[in-house]
């Protein structure tokens, strides 16, 4: 699909002009300005719909323009999926870091609790062992 895009020099319509495949990865998924992947995908999808239904009688397999639009839509869907997966991975990593921090805090609190629960003799022994 990416090879097809390179060979046919596919461009993707946006509010700021046509974009190349590699520029799609720089766009956000959604933006208030309309300069985003969702808007580009919707535009391409609308162009495909405007082409009308396929004929079951006429041979439309040589319709290069429609094929280019369909490949463009599949490419944009792939870029969207890739960016969504990357965002989910970042979110999962942040969640994992937060859980690790909470566990370390709880472990520290348990150790402090265990230390304060020790008897005076045990505390004096631990202190003497540290000073030796």
What pLDDT is attached to residue 95?
Answer: 97
Q: Based on the structure, what is the number of domains in the chain?
A: 1
pLDDT tens over the chain, length 132 residues: 888 888 888 899 998 999 999 999 999 999 989 899 999 999 999 998 887 666 667 666 667 788 889 999 999 999 999 999 999 999 999 999 999 999 999 999 999 998 888 889 998 998 899 887
Q: Which residue has the tokens 């993707």?
A: 12
What pLDDT is attached to residue 55?
Answer: 66
130: helix, strand or coil: helix
pTM: 0.71
Listed as own residue / partner, the contacts of 25-31 with beta carbons closer than 8 Å and 24 or more positions apart are: 25/79, 25/82, 25/83, 29/80, 29/83, 29/84, 29/87
What pLDDT is attached to residue 87?
Answer: 94
What pLDDT is attached to residue 118?
Answer: 87
Domain that holds residue 81: 2-131
């Amino acid at each position: 699909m990416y090879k097809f895009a390179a060979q046919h020099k596919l461009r993707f319509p946006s509010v700021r002009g046509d974009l190349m495949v590699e520029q799609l990865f720089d766009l956000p998924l959604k933006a208030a300005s309309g300069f985003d992947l969702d808007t580009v995908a919707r535009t391409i999808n609308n162009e495909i719909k405007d082409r009308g239904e396929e004929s079951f009688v006429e041979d439309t397999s040589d319709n290069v323009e429609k094929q280019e639009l369909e490949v463009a839509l599949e490419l944009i869907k792939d870029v969207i999926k890739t960016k969504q997966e990357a965002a989910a991975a970042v979110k999962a990593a942040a969640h994992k870091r937060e859980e690790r921090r909470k566990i370390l805090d709880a472990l520290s609190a348990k150790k402090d609790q265990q230390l304060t629960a020790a008897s005076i003799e045990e505390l004096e022994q631990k202190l003497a062992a540290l000073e030796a």
